[in-house]
Amino acid sequence: MNTTTSTTKLAITLALATLLASCADDEAHSPAATQTTTAQTLTVHVVSIPQHYTTSGSVASDHKVSISSRISGYIKAMNVREGDKVTAGQVLVKIDPTDAKQAYLQAKADLKDAEADLNRFKELLESGAISSQKVDKAKLRYDVAKANVARANNQLSYAKVRSPVDGVVVEKRLSIGDLASPGAPILSIEDPNSLLVSTYVSEDYVSKIHEGDAVDITIEALHHTFEGTVRQVVQAADPVSHQFLVKVALATGAEIHPGMFAQAGFRVGERQAMFIPQDTIISRSGLHAVYIMDAQGLAQYRLIRLGVRQGETVEVVAGLHDGDTIVWAGQPTIKTGMKVQANNG
């Protein structure tokens, strides 16, 4: 009997010990239930944003000039190279002016001879030895010779090839010692202050794109989005791809250069979206989450799926609902079950 009583007491004691241990374990695993964190809060809402049709393209200068010589001759000097900035009127290339000089000297000699003939015929006319028609012919020859001198002088000035615009040298086709010919390109200059993005759009969307429309231009290399304006929609599709060329004017930026890859986001409608500050997102092992405040004012961990980035905010495409309140930057660090006290000051 005593043995049975002792066994019963031992069982009761073990049961009480187990119960106490269980309670202690529950307290150890839910400390946040009795803690309060002071954190920033934000109630998120669905908003209407432009719906984009995105295409790829490249940045180019809207003003590209091909520099060539107006006279024939060997290149004596090349004062610039690719990447150099130039100003309007700056001497870029010097052409050997030997032939142009000879033409100028010959024209001057012809003018001197024509002037002498004209003066002599005028004297003969006064003495009545010749008719006025001969004087008129001599005058005509003099005028032609004078015009030839002016033209030869202009040709001689073309031995110095000058830049017609401000810009940057982007291509050099000839070098010192090469023969320059009239109309044959020597250099190419682009104006970096006049930029555009050339891209092609599908025939399904071309009717929704018009000149003057705003376009979001993303330069991946700069991790930034700029605003552009549709400059031109070519109303004839490419015969192979059946897509339409669209040119988008881009505001000048010191960091934007011709040749950069760009993505053009054309606004073809509106859609509903929800955005949250990027600082509120917790990223672990490729997953993204936020803490939200439930109806009881407690913090809850919530996995989310992200969409596009817009400035300092990111779109949430799954995991949150309109009217949810997110919390972040808690002191102490936010954990699930903590009581949230808003501090948005």
pLDDT on residue 63: 83
Is CATH 2.40.30.170 what the domain over 52-62+191-270 is classified as, yes or no?
yes
In the predicted model, is pLDDT for residue 100 greater than 80?
Answer: yes
Q: Which percentage of the chain shows pLDDT scores above 90?
A: 28
How many angstroms separate the CA atoms of 143 and 319, rounded?
A: 88
pLDDT on residue 16: 41
Report residue 253's pLDDT band, with 50, 70 and 90 as the boundaries: low
Residue-wise pLDDT for 173-209, tens only, equals 999 999 998 889 999 998 877 889 999 999 888 988 9
In the predicted model, is pLDDT for residue 89 greater than 70?
Answer: yes
Using CA atoms of 248, 249, 255, 261 in order, give the dihedral in degrees to the nearest 10: 20
Backbone angles phi and psi of 203, in degrees to 5: -65, -20
pTM over 0.95: no
Tally the residues of the chain: 345
In the predicted model, is pLDDT for residue 22 greater than 70?
Answer: no
Q: Can you read off the two tokens belonging to residue 309? A: 């980035």
Domain-wise residue ranges, the chain? 52-62+191-270, 65-190
Residue-wise pLDDT for 26-81, tens only, equals 333 444 445 888 888 889 999 888 788 899 999 988 888 899 988 888 999 999 99
In the predicted model, is pLDDT for residue 2 greater than 60?
Answer: no
Nearest C-alpha neighbor of 304 from the set 294, 314, 290: 290
Please report, for the chain, how many H helices and E strands are present, in that order: 3, 22
Residue-wise pLDDT for 103-152, tens only, equals 888 988 988 988 888 888 888 878 777 788 888 888 898 899 889 888 88
In the beta sheet, which residues pair with residue 166?
none
In the beta sheet, which residues pair with residue 171?
188
CATH of region 65-190, choose from 2.40.50.100, 3.40.640.10, 3.40.190.10, 3.20.20.80: 2.40.50.100
Query: DSSP character for 42?
Result: E
Secondary structure of 291-344 as H, E, C letters? EEECCCCEEEEEEEEEEEEECCEEEEEECCCCCCEEEEEEECCCCCCCEEEECC
CA distances in angstroms from 41 to 325, 343, 345, listed in the order given? 6, 7, 10
CA distances in angstroms from 317 to 49, 161, 270, 277, 309, listed in the order given? 13, 59, 15, 14, 12
Q: Tell me, yes or no, if the two domains 52-62+191-270 and 65-190 fold the same way.
A: no
